[in-house]
Amino acid sequence: MYVGNANVDAPGDAGWLLGHFKPVDDVRHSEDVEIKWGVHKRGDERAQWVRGERRTALLLLVSGRFRVELPDRDVILSEQGDYVVWGQGVDHSWYAEEDSVVMTVRWPSIPGYQVSAEGSARQEEESPSPVA
């Protein structure tokens, strides 16, 4: 069992609370699903578009105003509970139009696209880092 607080735990793994990147002996380790608690200041944006996504994702607005950018359209999440789901292979990015809190669920939990601290994009290989 694990009891925590998303605002306290999330910053330790770039917002990710559950997924393949947690230690195998941690109840939060999962190869089925990943869950992220994203706290974003107004103007925060993804450093680079995710290309070649291998997971399905759901992004749910908890508070604020958040834009999810997809190839054919932008989706504005403005009311608490608004969400968007996209499938494997859908490129995407995001922008916080206001201070926002969002929850992301991705499945399955597999190594995938990440942006390094320097802002360069790469495919995860052995790295357990869940940045996305």
pLDDT digits (tens, 9 = 90+) for 30-86: 999 999 999 999 999 998 998 888 899 999 999 999 999 999 999 999 999 999 999
Which residue has better confidence, 27 or 21? 27
Q: In 10 A of CB 49, how many CB atoms?
A: 16
- Asked whether the predicted pLDDT for residue 1 surpasses 80, the reply is yes
Strand locations in 54-99 (E): 56-63, 66-69, 74-77, 83-86, 93-96
pTM of the model: 0.83
Find how far residue 57's CA is from the centre of its chain: 8
8-23 pLDDT tens trace: 999 988 899 999 989 9
